[in-house]
Structures are given as C-alpha cells and as structure tokens.
Structure 1
Amino acid sequence: MPFYPESLHYSAEQIVWQEVPGEVALAYTITGCPVGCKGCHSVDSWPVGSGIELTEQHLEKQLQKYRGLITCVLFLGGEWQPDALLKLLKQVRSGGLETCLYTGYENVSLTLREQLTYLKTGPWIAARGGLESPTTNQRFYDLRTQQLLNCKFQTGE
C-alpha cells in the first residue's frame, strides 16, 4: 500500500454545476486514487502526493471567496485518507454547506457518511457508462433521505 501524506492534495479546483443535482459545488479532484479504473478521465490525479496541498486555511479562503455563490463542496476522491477528509468535511459542514463525495469504492465508512449530504459510489466501468447511463453500476445517493438520484442524471434534471 502506498504511503500517503497526512493531508489531502488536489490536482484540480473548480466550480461545477452538473456533478451534484440542484447544487453549485466547489469541486476538488483529490490525488492518490488507489482504485485506478480503466478509462479514468483523471489519470493525472493518480500519483500519490502530487498536486497542491489542500489545507484548512486554503479551503476556508475559498469558502469565503465563494460565499453565497456555492451550496456544496464536492470531493472527487480522498476517502482513502479518511482522517484528512473527515477534517475537511466537518469544516465545510460547520460553514453551512452541503458535502458530496465521489468514490470508486462501493461504500465508505459510517464516520465519513455521517458528514456527507451526497455520495456517488462505484468504479468507472466504460461498458456500463456513467451516472447518465441506465446500465451504470455507479450510484448517486442523497444521504439525508437515502434516495437514489441516478434518474436526475439520466433525465437531465
């Protein structure tokens, strides 16, 4: 198993509208993904420790910068460093924003789930397609209601 630094690192930081239905999200592509899905569009994020360190101070600065404009913070990965991710999820929640995690795993710990509003699970399998495909293996949940929201991706809601 690779050695991970104590903090999360990211390769991309952007505002996104389509990844979390009904939310405007500040999204971080976390580096060091151990899943390694064939056909991944973020292969550049695989090297452990690459990218920019995502500190609590940087996150707070960005939350203030986008205050009133974003409703959610999305982490594309990071569950393989649960302590570091948990600290950032709690910070986001204390700021009154929703949280979302995209994971290639089938599930994450209860400790992480308790800090998440939304959770997308499942590895990318090209032949099955992404969330917009009716044959996908991936699942997108609203954890407040346990509702499966894949239909929102498939109908463009």
Structure 2
Amino acid sequence: MVRYHNFDVVFAEIPDETTLAINITGCPNRCPGCHSPHLQRDAGRPLDDAELRALLGRYGESVTCVCFMGGDASPHEIARLARLVRQERTALRTAWYSGRADLPEGLDVAAFDYVKLGPWVERLGPLTAPTTNQRLYRRSDDGTLHDITERFRRRT
C-alpha cells in the first residue's frame, strides 16, 4: 500500500506546470544527505483510489499536473495511480520523481508525461545545478523520453 506524508501545489518541480506534488513515504533509497528523511518511514495516510480522487476533486481544476514525489518501493502502484489520474481528469499531466538511477523493469512509462530519475548526491546538486546526476524526462507521443533537465537552468 502506498502512503503519503503531505502534498502541496508547487510551481518549480515540473517546468511550465502548476503541480499537485504528493510526497510519498516508505522511500527505500536512503540517499546520504537526504533532504526529506521523514519520507523514509512507512507512515502517513494511505493513497488509495478514494484518497486520490478526493485530492483530484479538491485540486484538479487548479493544477495542470499531478506529481508523485517518490514511491520507489512501489513503482508499479505509482504508475497505476497515475493512470487513475488520467482516467479521472484527462487534461491533467502526470509525473513521477524517482530516486532510482533507471526505470524499473516492466514499468508502464506511458502512465507518465514526466519522469525524474537519479538518486540524491549532495556534491552533485539538485536539478538546477549543471553538475547534477538527476535528470527530468518528458515522454513524447511515440513513447520516447527526452531529457529536459536543462529547463531548470536559469538563463542570464
């Protein structure tokens, strides 16, 4: 069962999107220097279909994207929930922030419009850093993933 700690409407996680970011608990990655160690515990409210529908009912008209922040312990369940978002609100895009280096075998990547991959490595920095190991991909209609990490870099 997927659980979540909290959620927020954010503007920086996915470029050009107003995003309902849902912080998933039970992270198995244990990245050194993790900025959200409280998300490592298997705690919080269950994120089942009814709970997700309630969040969509409350925020679905105010956002353009739903992002599952974590969920590496249950990636196939996260993909199923992303498909539910699409079923309930066809105009919403979906995203998954994963601390994995690669996509899990057999993951339905078509469930997502965006996927962030890469563990947190403090010395390499976040997505905004030119040295980051993390990558944000946008899925195109043909299913290929295109690296759009550069969109996080400020232009001077």
**Taking structure 1 as the reference length, what is the TM-score of the superposition?**
0.88
The answer to whether the aligner puts 1:80 opposite 2:56 as a matched pair is: no
- Contact between 1:10 and 1:52, CA under 8 Å: does it hold in 2? yes
- Identify the match of residue 44 of structure 2 among 18, 35, 51: 51
Structure 2 stretches of 5 or more lacking a match? none
Write out per-residue CA displacement over residues 100-129 of structure 1, whole angstroms, 9 at most, x where no aligned residue: 111110122343312010011000111110
Structure 1 position 102 matched with structure 2 position 101? no
Q: Secondary structure at the match of 1:41?
A: coil
Aligned length: 149
Secondary structure of the corresponding residue to residue 15 of structure 1: strand
- Measure the CA separation in 2 of the matches of 1:147 and 1:83: 21
Identity within the alignment, %: 35
1:130 counterpart letter in structure 2: P
Tell me which residue corresponds to 1:155.
154
Among 110, 116, 119, which residue is 2:115 paired with?
119
Question: How far did residue 151 of structure 1 move?
Answer: 1.3
Per the TM alignment, residue 80 of structure 1 is displaced from its structure 2 partner at its CA by 2.1
Mean alpha-carbon deviation: is it higher for 136-145 or for 118-127? 136-145
Residue 13 (structure 1) shift = 1.0
> Given the two structures, how large is their TM-score scaled by the length of structure 2?
0.89
- Runs (4 or more) in structure 1 with deviation over 3 Å come to none
Rounded to whole Å, the distance in 2 between the matches of 1:86 and 1:104 is 15
Instruction: Give the equivalent residue in structure 1 for 2:54.
Output: 61
DSSP-derived class of the 2:121 partner: coil
CA 1:67–1:104: 2 relative to 1, 3 Å: closer
SS in 1 for 2:29: coil
Q: What 5-or-longer segments of structure 1 have no aligned partner?
A: 1-6
Q: Distance in 1 between matches of 2:123 and 2:79?
A: 33
Aligned to 1:129: 125
RMSD after superposition: 1.5
